[in-house]
Amino acid sequence: MATRSFDLVVIGGGSGGIATAVRAALHGARVAMLEPGALGGTCVNVGCVPKKAMWLAAELAEAQRVACQVGFDGKSGALDWNVFVRRRDAYIENIHASYRRRLAAVGVELVAEYGRMLAADRVGAGADEFLARHVVIATGSRPWRPPVPGAELGIDSDGFFDLRAAPRRVAVIGGGYIAVELAGVLHGLGSEVSQFVRARRLLQGFDEETADELANAMRAGGIELRRRQHVDAVSRGDDGYALTLGDGEVVRGFDELIWATGRHPHSRGFGLEDIGVQLDADGYVVTDEWQNTNVDSVHAVGDVTARLALTPVAIAAGRRLSDRLFGGKPQSRLDYENVPSVVFSHPPMATVGCSEEEARARHGESVRVFRTRFRPMRAALAEHGQQSFMKLVCAGADERVVGIHILGLGADEMLQGFAVALKAGARKCDFDDTVAIHPTSAEELVLMGEPGLAFVGAAD
């Protein structure tokens, strides 16, 4: 067994692990990264990147239909999945190649082996042993299925990317953002979709009113949304998948079944418990605000921790950790407050800051809510009813903007700049004093009137 010494060993080659390793190497650290699989982890291979590609395909399908409605000659056609998947996979392989070049350029040694903690400063990988001043656990998460009879049937969110055609009729189980996104993509590409949600609402943890607006839009678009429906068992027969619900109802005839019931941390099998690293009841690595575990010199970033499960969060946390450990910035850490995020639903939903519920819990009676509903120009020209919804949550005597929630066309692209404004402490009067860009949907965020009223936008 060969023994080698490094300043940093990173276990896991996903977005957070790569960002941590590259930043540390740029600071002059000697770094090894242990990853036996495809670089990029969940995000690049079975998450954000291929998901967004499929979302774009569904958006293009809708754009074809809208184009015909507004006067373009021709008819919309179905997606050739094989052609699209080849393009999607080529795009992902370009990302893999870019990562490999970047790691090589900064001197990170990539080892295609699983890592296992032997001690706080020692990691085993294949036949070798790595001594390390610091170790970062960045092993991510995996899809989870509930323990019900037949749970092994169907596919999960990873398996979705193996599809090569839109199923005729599909059941999506789950009410989180992954379930919502997959339901929207498949419906947009021609599937008949039924979504089964255990809770009374979609998207627990998001602003409730905005999530309800999304649910209304999904139903109006043709997705069957069944809330308060617990799936007790699954079977498969000649007529496809059958779901037995909590009230005894059996729903049959699904060509495909997708479990989108959450993800669990990939923390077992790396020797963490053997060296005393604390895991919580769900298996997440417990970290403080500096990404430290309870074991000196062992740190963790990304979805293996119980932090926000977002790729940019893992990247930002990893870079700041390396800045602190190797870059001479002892106060460097990620501020987990006011992180913007987007649900790539149909229509997309973007949010930053407090939900109305969180704001009222924090700020009490000082909270004022401004909202508007309108049809964006594309929807109005096509004469279909898809509305956009926007909401500002303000607090205090100065009406500081503490939450921004957007549902509708372009929400995913317009939030980033407004997130900067919120992070910088903008007030409602600052929004009011900003001249609108017309005609856009984004202008509605600076044109909202009295709190609590739902105005109809000019495009309607």
Q: Which residues are catalytic?
A: 438
Angle at 22 between CA 21 and CA 27, to 5 degrees: 100
CA dist list (Å): 98 to 44, 102, 313, 375: 12, 6, 21, 41
Beta strand pairing call for 192-196 and 169-173: parallel
| Single-letter amino acid code for the residue at 229 | Q
Buried b (16+ CB within 10 A) or exposed e, 217-242: bbeebebbbeeebebeebeeeeebbb
Helix ranges restricted to H, 195-310: 208-221
**What number of other Cβ atoms are within 10 A of residue 95's Cβ?**
16
End-to-end CA distance of the chain: 72
Measured CA to CA, the distance from residue 73 to residue 258 in angstroms comes to 37
CA dist list (Å): 273 to 18, 121, 278, 296, 300: 24, 14, 7, 14, 14
Which pair of structure tokens corresponds to residue 442? 């984004």
> How large is the angle between the packed helices 81-106 and 15-26, nearest 10 degrees?
30
Measured CA to CA, the distance from residue 402 to residue 207 in angstroms comes to 12
Provide the CB-side half-sphere exposure for 14 (13 A, CA). Answer: 31
Residues 28, 71 contacting (CB under 8 angstroms): no
Residue 451, judged by CB atoms within 10 A of its CB (0-12, 13-18, 19+), counts as middle
| Single-letter amino acid code for the residue at 180 | V
